Amino acid sequence: MRGLYAIIDTGTLAARQLDPVAFGEAVLVARPAALQLRAKDLPPRETLALLRALAPLCHRNGVPLVANDRPDLAVMAGCDLVHVGQTDMPIDRVRRIAPGMGVGVSTHTMEQLDAALTARPTYVAFGPVFETATKDNPDPVVGVAGVRAASARAVAAGVPLVAIGGMTYARTRELVDLVDAVAIVSDLLPPVASTDVWRDVTARARAIQELFASPPVVAGAVR
């Protein structure tokens, strides 16, 4: 996994009256590292319908589809991975429900990161790196220094590291040599005054993905 870890946040898109599937299609043109559906405001049936609509689009473009929180829905929709947080289902239980499916996990402290790395997930997300407005009650900001420390541990464990929380194009440039991917929500959306929203979404996704075109410069590390 290397590049843009794009997140379709249904709450954020609903505030702009934007269709999540159309948003996903625009992002997929850029061939991101992964595409996650985060639908915390929707009932399970609607979430499953969205995952089933996105799955063939992702697979056609060779992009892994990630379901947030729900391994059962991930299995039913044919997703590639499921992402869980610290208060969600433990990784070992996820693996029992969805054997063979990749699992990513959010971490917010070095202790949580170490515990997650021991479980050997497909990737670990670490943050929030910066202040974020897309999550209720976010954890304390870890900053670039925190990402640097997390990067060393993830590299030693051989597990990809995803930076999450307040990420933008400009901030990605600060971290591109420390992480394998960046999770981005709001910065994929153009200003409200945009005359061609989907073209601009694709352009923003491509710009972020292109930052990862070169191998990372991390001393002693091979990602």
Residue 218 lies in a domain: no
Domain tally, the chain:
1
Residue 203 lies in a domain: yes
* pTM of structure: 0.93
Angle 163-169-174 from CA coordinates, rounded to 5°: 60
Angle 140-90-121 from CA coordinates, rounded to 5°: 80
How far out from the chain centre does Cα 158 lie?
Answer: 18
Residue 221 lies in a domain: no
Residue 220 lies in a domain: no
pLDDT band for position 214 (cuts 50, 70, 90): confident
Angle 50-87-7 from CA coordinates, rounded to 5°: 35
- pLDDT at 222 exceeding the cut of 50: no
Residue 219 lies in a domain: no
Residue 150 lies in a domain: yes
CATH number of the domain at 10, please: 3.20.20.70
147-193: per-residue pLDDT in tens? 999 999 999 999 999 999 999 999 999 999 999 999 999 999 999 88
Residue 216 lies in a domain: no
Any bridge partners for residue 183, and if so which?
Answer: 5, 164
Residue 111 lies in a domain: yes
pLDDT at 118: 96
Write down the mean pLDDT value for the chain: 93
95-149: per-residue pLDDT in tens? 999 999 999 999 999 999 999 999 999 999 999 999 877 666 678 899 999 999 9
Angle 216-217-223 from CA coordinates, rounded to 5°: 45
Residue 29 and residue 62 in contact, taking contact as beta carbons nearer than 8 Å: no
Contacts of 49 (CB under 8 A, 6+ apart): none
The range of the structural domain enclosing residue 64 comes to 3-210
